[in-house]
A and B are shown apart, each in its own frame.
Chain A
Amino acid sequence: MSTFILLTVTGLGLGAMYFLIASGLSLIYGLMGVLNFAHGAFLTVGAYVTWWTGTHVGGGPGIKLLVGALAGLAVGAILAALVELVLIRPLYQRHIEQVLVTVGLALALGALVEAIWGFDARPFPVPAWLVDTTTIFGARIPNDRFLEIGVALAVLLALTAFLRYTRYGLIIRAGVENRAMVTALGIDVRKAFTLVFALGGTAAALAGVLSGVYFGAVDPGRGTSLLIFAFIVVVIGGFGSIGGTAIAAVIVGLIQQYANYYASSGLGDLAVVLLLALVLLARPGGLAPKVAH
């Protein structure tokens, strides 16, 4: 029983990270039709900036992590907005070219990170209280899992509120549903594009910070390995739906943990791909219809 609880909480923690990456991907895809391969690179860059800033400020690991995370999120947002403005915008409506550009960018940014900081994993500043465990029903659960779940929940609530109650949220939701109509009504959707990219970049960088805490270190391959599962989450969740993405992220994280433990290690990844195949056979459009709510 205690193992089951530990697996569940860990799976939720993993799902939280998937959600943070996939929500940005899903919104970008839903609104602009762009599959952003460079999203993993935003994550890696965010994590590395956090680590680098942490090594340059004084104080305990808590301060290092907090200041580092703020810097990482800012860089993630700025990088993503720049990518949209400089690389994606000129190729407006040419979806294949946009994908190709993000592929090239993913290769180049990944290599750049390796060139600057090397191949080796870098230890992340993690405060002691996050490494400690809390006992729930006999299961000793590392505290960082709660941080991941809490942050993802907060992001989910904030994103939902933003989409539902603000003017920009309204434009984004309308744009996901029918971009041509929004443009026809005289609203410049392109501002929303940059905004969505910046939001996605911030969320990806946040996932990078949390993955650093989760694994205790950051390495150049982190973004790519998480990105593939985020893609699966986006497809299962139905493109452009934040709620569907959240549910899919939880399912994928849990199945991965359970299959890895109860079946055999490494089988979790295969189980997730199998789930994807099943969902596609049953509901090609994913779990939720394409509405950003």
Chain B
Amino acid sequence: MRRVAGIAVPLVLLALLALVPLIGLDIPVVFNGPLDSPGTLGLLALCLVFAGVALTYDLLFGFTGLLSFGHALYFALGVYLMTIALTKWEWGLLPALGIVAIAGILVPLVLGAVSLRVGGIAFAMVTLAFAQAGQVLVQKNPDGLTGGEEGVGLNSDALPDFFVGVLQAKNLYWLALGYAALVFLVVRSAVSSSPGHVWQAIRENERRVEVIGLRPFGFKLLAFVLASFLATLGGVVWLLVLGTGATPTVTTANFTLTLLVMVVIGGAGTRYGALLGGFLYTLADQRLGSLSGSSQVRDLPAVLEKPLSEPLFILGTLFILLVFFIPGGIAGFGQRLRVLRRAAS
């Protein structure tokens, strides 16, 4: 029974989500237009991309216990390399995807092998340093490739027509949904495979894994490369969904921190939690931006008005409260409710 549900629930969910562009339903407050309007579909596609990317981060942080502060680097690798290959080198779609795929494996393999020489918090610092190096490289604009502060615009001529333009919002939505589903599938099968069991054992107690006779290094590197590769892929999908080009914001440490916030909001170490966290965070981020500037906030006294008009202040404070009061995120909250209900009955 559990097995059937384990396959049926995601399939039904996927089918429902795939039907969304065909429904003209109007959901006030949450969305500006009906579900099948290009604006709403674009927003939903963005939410789905980040749901997937958050899950790749959860593979590292939630399932293997590796606190990386450099995950943005691999997302940015996908975004920048794809844009540069298409626009600056004028490659076709397939060769561009090929080089992104190769880089998406080689770069995390090398950087992961170095950073995994240290564990725990030191690993966090080292990944942060590598991501910082990536950011500096992009800012430096070598050979005019990365465009520095301004980024690079995407040359959409090389893309197939069904991915270009506002009218193709449906296709882009399905692309994003496909990406999220792919990440879900890969993470699900990876976590339940035998390396996946070792990952979770490493998260619980790395010393004990060593005592059993396994070398954690190789397993951690595998998780690192897999998560980074999927994030690189996420960068490509993000690029296609937005369709504008690469911007340096995706290289910043703050971008990695938002991924961390998504995972913690949803519940680290749970697949649905990370997906939900990424989805809801992006939705809130896009829609709350208008709240900060809204008249209700502007009418408050200055002591309250100034901090509340800073989205990062709200976010940081919420994050602290979350860590203190809802340690398992949304997923953990649900589980605890279930336990409470069972105890009551």
Contacts and interface: CB of A to CB of B under 8 A. Distances in A.
A107 B257 contact: yes
A115 B117 CA distance: 40
B133 interface: yes
Interface string B128-139: 111011001101
A52 B344 CA distance: 56
A154 interface: no
Contacts of B120: 95
A264 B136 CA distance: 12
Interface in A56-114: 87, 90-91, 95-97, 99-101, 103-112, 114
Interface string B224-255: 00000000000000000000000000000110
Interface in A247-293: 266-267, 269-270, 272-274, 276-277, 280-281, 284
Interface in B299-324: 306-307, 309-313, 315-320, 323-324
B152 to A, nearest CB: 18
Contacts of A136: none
Given A111-B312, A270-B133, A33 B121 contact: yes
A168 interface: no
Given A107-B312, A270-B137, A280-B126, A90 B317 contact: no
A236 to B, nearest CB: 10
A104 B125 contact: no
A270 B118 CA distance: 20
B316 A108 contact: yes
B137 A277 contact: no
A106 B327 contact: no
Nearest to B260: A103
A60 to B, nearest CB: 32
A217 interface: no
Q: Which of A90, A228, A270 has the most CB of B within 10 A?
A: A228
Nearest to B318: A104
Given A107-B257, A111-B310, A97 B117 contact: no
A274 B137 CA distance: 13
B317 A104 contact: yes
Q: Which of B120, B129, B317 has the most CB of A within 10 A?
A: B129
Contact of B319 (A104, A112, A266): A104
B89 to A, nearest CB: 23
B133 A269 contact: yes
B320 A280 contact: no
Nearest to A117: B306
A23 to B, nearest CB: 16
Given A108-B313, A266-B136, A281-B114, A101 B129 contact: no
Contacts, number: 117
Nearest to A96: B67
Q: Is the interface of B mostly helix, strand, loop or mixed?
A: helix
Contact of A266 (B122, B139, B312): B139
B264 interface: yes
Interface residues of B, number: 41
Contacts of B307: 111-112, 115
A105 B317 CA distance: 7
Contact of A231 (B67, B125, B320): B125
A224 interface: yes
Nearest to B257: A103
A29 interface: yes
Q: Which of A104, A272, A276, A284 has the most CB of B within 10 A?
A: A104
Interface in A202-258: 224, 228, 231-232, 234-235, 239
B121 to A, nearest CB: 4
A35 interface: yes
B124 interface: yes
Given A104-B317, A107-B316, A266-B140, A97 B133 contact: no
A128 interface: no
A112 B307 CA distance: 6
Nearest to B140: A266
Contact of B122 (A96, A239, A277): A239
A146 to B, nearest CB: 29
Nearest to A239: B122
Contacts of A184: none
A97 B323 contact: yes
Nearest to B264: A100
Contacts of A276: 126, 129
A100 B312 contact: no
A235 B122 CA distance: 7
A116 interface: yes
30 contacts: A33-B121, A35-B124, A95-B121, A96-B67, A100-B323, A101-B323, A104-B315, A104-B317, A104-B318, A104-B319, A107-B257, A107-B313, A107-B315, A111-B316, A115-B309, A224-B253, A228-B129, A228-B253, A232-B129, A269-B136, A270-B136, A273-B130, A273-B132, A274-B133, A276-B126, A276-B129, A277-B114, A280-B126, A281-B117, A284-B118
10 tightest Cβ-Cβ pairs between the two chains A and B: A108-B316, A107-B316, A104-B319, A111-B313, A111-B312, A273-B133, A111-B310, A104-B320, A115-B306, A231-B125
Interface of A: 29, 33, 35, 87, 90-91, 95-97, 99-101, 103-112, 114-116, 224, 228, 231-232, 234-235, 239, 266-267, 269-270, 272-274, 276-277, 280-281, 284
Given A109-B316, A269-B132, 18 more contacts: A91-B323, A99-B121, A111-B310, A111-B311, A112-B310, A114-B310, A115-B307, A115-B310, A224-B253, A228-B129, A228-B132, A228-B253, A232-B125, A232-B129, A235-B126, A270-B133, A270-B137, A284-B117
Interface of B: 67, 114-115, 117-118, 120-122, 124-126, 128-130, 132-133, 136-137, 139-140, 253-254, 257, 260, 264, 306-307, 309-313, 315-320, 323-324, 327
